[in-house]
Amino acid sequence: MEAKVKRALVFGSVPCRDWSFLEAYRRPDQQVYCADGGLNNALAAGCKPDFVVGDWDSGGAPRADVPSVTLPVEKDMTDLQAALHHALAAGCTEFLLCGCLGGRRLDHTAFNLVLLEWLKARGGQGILIDEDNEVRLLEHETVTLHPEEGPRYRYLSLLPLDRTVEGVSIDGVKYPLTDAAILRGDTLTVSNQPAGPVVSVTVGDGRALLIQSERDA
């Protein structure tokens, strides 16, 4: 019998007005990790925290009923990366990161996006989600999406992380590509749209962020 993938739902501290979008992603056996003020987000979303870590400068605080680790303010990684580190050490390999996009710190958002690379290098698969967007890293792989079965997004874009990403094919969309090379800094692969019940995105050589945006339902 195949072992079930251990999933972590990880909360950052970026606030959200309505956490109902998480319903499409919840799984009863997932573990909930909180990075500092992400503790408040988890509680607001109706999730019971399993672990919290932080330096307590963004609204979080240790709780007697939740295992926690206090970090120094001056350190070599963010609270979010520390939370991911602890989740990896606990055996999690699948990660949903929320409360990690937007807010007043553009630098944190940018670094949170590339944390998907850090996770993948350590055997983890991560997806960043918020009310309107879903972001995942593709590297030498094909991902199949079913727009009509899960959360529905109006747009999908492929953002190259390497100078050149080759062997890119996008099928089931308004603007298909076949075995193309896309360049970092070019906007060729922004704002595509699903055109059917199945969308396939392939990255042959290189790394790119697959971004689905403007959620409809």
Q: Mean pLDDT, the chain, as a whole number?
A: 94
pLDDT band, residue 59 (cuts 50/70/90): confident
**163 lies in a domain?**
yes
Give the structural domain span for 170: 135-215
- Kind plus residue range of the DSSP H or E element containing 127: strand 125-129
Question: Which pTM does this prediction carry?
Answer: 0.93
Task: Indicate whether 147 and 209 sit together in one domain.
Answer: yes
Task: Indicate whether 31 and 98 sit together in one domain.
Answer: yes
pLDDT one-digit tens code per residue, 173-191: 999 999 999 999 999 999 9
Task: Indicate whether 11 and 103 sit together in one domain.
Answer: yes
pLDDT band, residue 2 (cuts 50/70/90): low
Neighbours of 148 (CB within 10 A): 10
pLDDT of residue 196 exceeding 70, the answer is yes
Task: Indicate whether 178 and 124 sit together in one domain.
Answer: no
pLDDT band, residue 1 (cuts 50/70/90): very low
CATH number of 187's domain: 3.40.50.10240
Task: Indicate whether 13 and 117 sit together in one domain.
Answer: yes
Task: Indicate whether 76 and 126 sit together in one domain.
Answer: yes
Higher per-residue pLDDT: 68 or 4: 68
